[in-house]
Amino acid sequence: MEIRQAAQEWVRRILAPREDLRWEHPLPEAAAKEILALKKESGFWALSLPEGEGGAGLSLEEEAAFWEEAHTSPLGLYGRSLLLAGEVPFPLQKDLSFVRETLKEGRRTVTWLLSRPFQEGPHPVLVPSRWDWLFLWHPAEGGVLLSKEGALLGKKLEPTMGSSFLLELRGDEQGDTFPPREEGDLWVARQQILLAAGALGAARRSLLESLPYTQTRQTFKAPLSQRQAIQWLLAASAKEMETARALLGQAFRDPLSYGSLAKAWAVDVALRAVDRTIQIFGGSGYTKELPYEEYWRELRLYRHLLGDHQEVLKALGQKEKASLLKEAKP
Amino acid sequence: MWPLGLYWPYQKNSWGEEVSLRLSPDVERAYEQMKAFVETYLQPLEDQLPPFAQKLAPEKARDVRRALEAEGLVGWAVPKDLGGHGLGIPGLCAAREALAHTTLWSLSPVLGSEPPILLYQASPAQKEAFLLPTLKGERHGAFALTEPEAGSDAGSLSMEALPVEGGYLLTGTKVFISFVEESDYALVFARVPAKGVTLFLVDLPSPGLEIARIMETMGGARVARLEFQEVFVPTERRMGEEGEAFALAQHWFDVDRIALQPPICIGASHRALSLAAKMELLSDEEMGSWTLRLEAARALMYRAAQEAEEGRPVRHQAAMVKSFAVELALSLLDRALDLLGPQGYSQRFRIERYRRDIRRFAIAAGTLEIQNHIIARGLLKGYSRPLPGEVN
């Protein structure tokens, strides 16, 4: 896929040389601006917006491939906001002035899935290090779009274990509202799929970088890779990642049914894979010298993003129970 | 460079439009038909299954076979020109996934109609003598590879096949061989001096071949110890060339790791979850958590089955499917047993039976440790799985 190669090239040329910036929280303004300008210049801008409307017009598969590749650098993680810049949430794509501003200024709009109607706050929301707008979506109630100023009024952001912040919305903030529509649900499912692909990108880098290390690191006069205790860790990660990819493939075909499943599973698989890599690298893995500890801290956020993990499992469990009882003979 | 195999499934439009995890409407239908048969015909017979055997009274077994044939529910993976459904490996997975909704899943009349795909590589005369009657349910084959000193390390087997005029003399011991009592031939792996491991089709019984012992197991399987003392096998019963056994059988081993045990694990897990839903054993979240893992296993199995069907190398994927599905089923069945308490330990809900049967999968046809070994070795060698349309 051409997009994959272009995305790899983009990561190699733009993100990889700047990887030391990961020690800075948030990214220095100048560096963030420079990266965004380069992102725009490379055409990775408004990825899902049709080409005729100033976007890149990528298919979901292509956009996911970009997210996966971008996640092979910690700078591409969600909390860093780089991937959000220049993207227009689907239900807002008809709002031409919003689209124009987004395309021009690289607006960052955070999508957050509400588990109960907005008015029934409070809602603990995790926002990335830099953002401009907050788009809150509830499948039955529709959406609310809040500007950063409107959302923050009278509140403060609380730090987290990663580069994101906790913001507690009361539910009485003023913003534009949107009626419930399938395209809103589809946007959420799309974002879930992108997060799944991103998580797998981080997992892939973690697993693959541990391979040469296990082959060169000697313990008791043999490389780590000859130890079954280590081989088992590698096999477990590879196996789980393959299942997550299979589920991701299913989500591409049926985003509304499988998007949340693909995300929940891929994120968990990635967290475990990254954790195994930290274990394989030992003390070095635990330090910030290597990117894996950051991957773990940042990916942990994905469990709450766009479908809190517990909520996804609960909904899936309810649906499955109903289906199993229906199929069971009386 | 990163292995290519870690990049799927992004190819645009490469998967068609179907939504079912089973990947095609025909395969989905195979699942539904088989499941309906299992529920109406096989589940009511479960009480007749002895706790430590996998057989019914002979007349009942014949009835099962007749009913299966009457409903057209045999030969899912058998090519159409041989009278089968031609649904390939995904079809076999679907039929077996449905079949696993009964503890009778390994009943030989049901299994017998899907011969090892290895037999399709046999010579025309061998096909006439073994493959075709097997398809009709008239013959059954056993598979004799394991030896007392060669289990996971099958390549170190020591049974000797000494060339003599017109054939070979086989001498040695095979152990843990399933379905010997039901079979009238066996696929036997033996070593031709200076040539290597070779595959033979051996009639059961044959002069010099003794069933030395039948061992009961913790599940329904009964396994045999076979003693070969200069058993004569004519040259025309040799499959392929001398020393070619593993080259011939490797694809079959891989396919078996996708299509034999994993669908049973997935179907049995599904049935256990049905019971849990009916008895309100699980919270919504725990039900969701098991369902998620089950869907992941299903997605991988059908994907791997499809790739195997398209002739792509699936060695590493097969190892992943097998170990993921077996571990999932064992842990889910354990959980169900825990939740059912003393009733679960009893034979009332049949979860104990599934748990005892499926424990074998962690050992038979490649232990879980061997699967991990295959995956890790592949990774460390920089194994890369080709994208569709590419050649490995």
Using CB atoms, pick whichever of A234, A258, A317 lies closest to residue B285.
A317
One domain for residues B161 and B268? no
Q: How far apart are CA B106 and CA B108, in angstroms?
A: 6
Q: Which of B23, B295, B324, B368 to mutate to test the interface with A (most CBs of A within 10 A)?
A: B295
How do residues A32-74 score in pLDDT, each as one tens digit?
899 999 999 998 999 988 888 888 999 999 999 999 999 999 9
- Of B135, B155, B170, the position where a domain reaches its end is B135
Taking 60 as the threshold, does the pLDDT of residue B264 lie above it? Answer: yes
B278: nearest CA partner in chain A:
A325
Q: Which of A241, A245, A261, A280 to mutate to test the interface with B (most CBs of B within 10 A)?
A: A245
Taking 70 as the threshold, does the pLDDT of residue B15 lie above it? Answer: no
Using CB atoms, pick whichever of A208, A245, A264 lies closest to residue B2.
A208
- Is B389 among the domain residues? no
Task: Give the per-residue SS3 of A257-279.
Answer: HHHHHHHHHHHHHHHHHHHHHHH
Q: B196 and B182 in contact (C-beta within 8 Å)?
A: no
Helix (H, G, I), strand (E, B) or coil at A292: helix
Cis peptide before B124 (omega within 30 of 0): no
- Is B361 among the domain residues? yes
Q: Which of residues 41-70 of A touch B (CB under 8 A)?
A: 59, 61-62, 64-65
Kindly state whether B57 is in contact with chain A, defined as any CB-CB distance less than 8 angstroms.
Answer: no
Residue B109 has a pLDDT of: 61
Distances B323 to A264, A285, B232, B264 between C-alpha atoms, Å: 21, 28, 38, 13
Taking 70 as the threshold, does the pLDDT of residue B7 lie above it? Answer: no
Question: What CATH number corresponds to the domain at position B336?
Answer: 1.20.140.10
- Of B135, B153, B179, the position where a domain reaches its end is B135
Set out the domains of chain A in order of their start, with CATH numbers: 2-180 (no CATH), 183-327 (1.20.140.10)
Kindly state whether A140 is in contact with chain B, defined as any CB-CB distance less than 8 angstroms.
Answer: no
How do residues A63-81 score in pLDDT, each as one tens digit?
999 999 999 999 999 998 8
One domain for residues B8 and B52? no
Question: What CATH number corresponds to the domain at position B31?
Answer: 1.10.540.10
Interface predicted TM-score (ipTM) of this complex, two decimals = 0.89
Residues in chain B: 392
pLDDT band at A144 (very low <50, low <70, confident <90, very high): very high
Number of domains in chain B: 3
Taking 90 as the threshold, does the pLDDT of residue B12 lie above it? Answer: no
- Is B81 among the domain residues? yes
Say whether B324 and A239 touch across the interface (CB within 8 A).
yes
Residue B118 has a pLDDT of: 87
- Is B20 among the domain residues? no
Which tokens sit at A5? 């190669």
- Of B135, B169, B198, the position where a domain reaches its end is B135
Ramachandran category for residue B84: left, alpha or beta (phi over 0 → left; psi -120 to 50 → alpha): beta
One domain for residues B198 and B257? no
Kindly state whether A248 is in contact with chain B, defined as any CB-CB distance less than 8 angstroms.
Answer: yes
Question: What CATH number corresponds to the domain at position B203?
Answer: 2.40.110.10
One domain for residues B98 and B201? no
Residue B106 has a pLDDT of: 85
Taking 70 as the threshold, does the pLDDT of residue B128 lie above it? Answer: yes
- Is B392 among the domain residues? no
Say whether B277 and A328 touch across the interface (CB within 8 A).
yes
Distances B211 to B154, B175, B364 between C-alpha atoms, Å: 21, 10, 20
Rounded to an integer, the average pLDDT of A148-156 is 94
Domain of residue B80, residue span: 25-135
- Is B374 among the domain residues? yes
**What is the rounded average pLDDT for all residues in chain B?**
89
How do residues B150-160 score in pLDDT, each as one tens digit?
888 888 999 99
Kindly state whether B156 is in contact with chain A, defined as any CB-CB distance less than 8 angstroms.
Answer: no
One domain for residues B10 and B97? no
One domain for residues B254 and B362? yes
Say whether A321 and B18 touch across the interface (CB within 8 A).
no
How do residues B21-80 score in pLDDT, each as one tens digit?
887 889 999 999 999 999 999 999 999 999 999 889 989 988 998 899 899 998 899 999
One domain for residues B105 and B222? no
**A187 burial via Cβ count (<10 Å: 0-12, 13-18, 19+):** buried
Say whether B296 and A265 touch across the interface (CB within 8 A).
yes
- Is B118 among the domain residues? yes
Distances B259 to B27, B91, B93, B134, B149 between C-alpha atoms, Å: 13, 9, 5, 19, 27
Residue type, B356: R
B320: nearest CA partner in chain A:
A239
Distances B42 to A74, A160, B50, B104, B357 between C-alpha atoms, Å: 54, 56, 14, 7, 17
Contacting residues of B for A225, CB less than 8 Å apart: 376, 380
Looking at CA atoms only, how far is residue A226 from chain B in angstroms?
10
One domain for residues B258 and B227? no
One domain for residues B361 and B252? yes
One domain for residues B358 and B260? yes
One domain for residues B275 and B369? yes
Q: What is the DSSP letter of A330?
A: -
Q: How far apart are CA B390 and CA B392, in angstroms?
A: 6
- Is B387 among the domain residues? no
One domain for residues B307 and B375? yes
Rounded to an integer, the average pLDDT of A1-12 is 89
Distances B150 to A63, B74, B124, B155, B176 between C-alpha atoms, Å: 50, 34, 31, 7, 11
Using CB atoms, pick whichever of B9, B282, B369 lies closest to residue A245.
B9
Q: A82 and A29 in contact (C-beta within 8 Å)?
A: no
pLDDT band at B1 (very low <50, low <70, confident <90, very high): very low
